[in-house]
Structure 1
Amino acid sequence: MPTLDLTGGYEPAFDFPIAQPEDPEMRESVSMWISDDQGRFGLPRFVIEAVAEEWNYRGIEANIAFPGGRVLIGAGGFRPDTPKRVEGQIVTLNAGPLTFEIVEPLRRWKMRFDGSAYESTVARQIEGVVGGTDRRVRISIDAIMACPPWTPGEQAAQQGDTSTALAVGAVGGHRHEQLFRCSGRVEIEGDDAIDFSGTGLRIRRTGVRNVGAFPGHCWQSALFPSGKAFGILAFPPRSDGTAAYSEAFLFDGEKKTYGKVIEAPWMTSIIPHGGPVGLVIETEAGLTRIDGITHDTTFIAKDKPMFGDWAPGGIVSGMALPFHQGGALYTWDGEEAYGMIERSLPVEQMTG
Structure 2
Amino acid sequence: MATDLSGGLDPGFEYFAGSKPADPQMRDSSTLWIMDSAGEIAFPRVTFDAIGEDWEAPWVQLNFVDASGRTLRLWSEQPGHQATDGQGRQAIRGAGPLRFQCVEPFRRWTMEFNGQALASTTTRQMAGEPDGAPVDLAFRFEAEMAAPPWLMGGMTAQAARSMKVGDGGALMGGIRYEQLCRIKGHVHVDGKKHDIEGTGMRVRRQGVRNMGAALGHCQHSALFPSGRAFGAIVMAPGPEGPEAFNEAFLVDSDGRQVPARVVKAPWMTRLTEKSDDASLLLESAAGTVRIDGEVLASLFDHHLFEMAETSVLQQGTARYTWDGEETIGLIERCTLKNRIAS
Structure 1 and Structure 2 fold alike (TM over 0.5): yes
**Cα distance between partner residues in 2 of 1:251 and 1:78:** 38
- Are the aligned partners of 1:144 and 1:180 in contact in 2 as well (CA < 8 Å)? yes
Tell me the equivalent position of 2:4: 5
Gaps of 5+ in 2: none
Does 2:97 match 1:107?
no
- The code of the aligned residue for 2:140 comes to S
Going from structure 1 to structure 2, the CA distance change for 1:230 and 1:175 (only over 3 Å counts) comes to same
- Are the aligned partners of 1:300 and 1:319 in contact in 2 as well (CA < 8 Å)? no
Does 2:274 match 1:284?
no
The offset of 1:274, in angstroms, is 1.2
Q: Which moved more, 1:123-132 or 1:197-206?
A: 123-132
Instruction: Name the SS of the counterpart of 2:124 in structure 1.
Output: helix
Does 2:332 match 1:342?
yes
Tell me the equivalent position of 1:117: 117
Tell me the equivalent position of 1:259: 260
Going from structure 1 to structure 2, the CA distance change for 1:160 and 1:228 (only over 3 Å counts) comes to closer
The offset of 1:324, in angstroms, is 0.2
- Are the aligned partners of 1:67 and 1:297 in contact in 2 as well (CA < 8 Å)? no
Going from structure 1 to structure 2, the CA distance change for 1:170 and 1:235 (only over 3 Å counts) comes to closer
**Cα distance between partner residues in 2 of 1:91 and 1:231:** 26
**Cα distance between partner residues in 2 of 1:160 and 1:44:** 26
Going from structure 1 to structure 2, the CA distance change for 1:205 and 1:137 (only over 3 Å counts) comes to same
The offset of 1:134, in angstroms, is 1.1
**Cα distance between partner residues in 1 of 2:129 and 2:279:** 29
Instruction: Name the SS of the counterpart of 2:155 in structure 1.
Output: helix
Q: How many residues align?
A: 338
**Cα distance between partner residues in 1 of 2:237 and 2:172:** 22
* TM-score, structure 2 normalization: 0.93
**Cα distance between partner residues in 2 of 1:193 and 1:40:** 13
* TM-score, structure 1 normalization: 0.91
Tell me the equivalent position of 2:136: 136
Which structure has the higher relative contact order (CA within 8 Å, separation 6+)? 1
Instruction: Name the SS of the counterpart of 1:163 in structure 2.
Output: helix
Tell me the equivalent position of 1:314: none
Going from structure 1 to structure 2, the CA distance change for 1:240 and 1:173 (only over 3 Å counts) comes to closer
The 5-angstrom pairing of residues 82-101 of structure 1 reads: 82-101=82-101
The offset of 1:173, in angstroms, is 3.5
Instruction: Name the SS of the counterpart of 1:46 in structure 2.
Output: strand
Q: Could you list the per-position Cα deviations for residues 309-335 of structure 1 after superposition, in whole angstroms to 9, with x for gaps in the alignment?
A: xx9xxxxx9443100011111111111
Going from structure 1 to structure 2, the CA distance change for 1:172 and 1:266 (only over 3 Å counts) comes to closer
Q: Could you list the per-position Cα deviations for residues 53-80 of structure 1 after superposition, in whole angstroms to 9, with x for gaps in the alignment?
A: 1110111111110122110112211001
Tell me the equivalent position of 1:188: 189
The 5-angstrom pairing of residues 257-336 of structure 1 reads: 257-301=258-302, 304-306=303-305, 318-336=308-326
Instruction: Name the SS of the counterpart of 2:13 in structure 1.
Output: helix
Give the CA RMSD over aligned residues: 2.0
Identity %: 38
Instruction: Name the SS of the counterpart of 1:24 in structure 2.
Output: coil
- The code of the aligned residue for 1:133 comes to A
Q: Could you list the per-position Cα deviations for residues 110-138 of structure 1 after superposition, in whole angstroms to 9, with x for gaps in the alignment?
A: 00011101110011111111221211101
Tell me the equivalent position of 2:155: 155
Q: Could you list the per-position Cα deviations for residues 263-318 of structure 1 after superposition, in whole angstroms to 9, with x for gaps in the alignment?
A: 100011122211111000001111100011111110002xx113xxxx9xxxxx94
Gaps of 5+ in 1: 312-316
- The code of the aligned residue for 1:53 comes to E
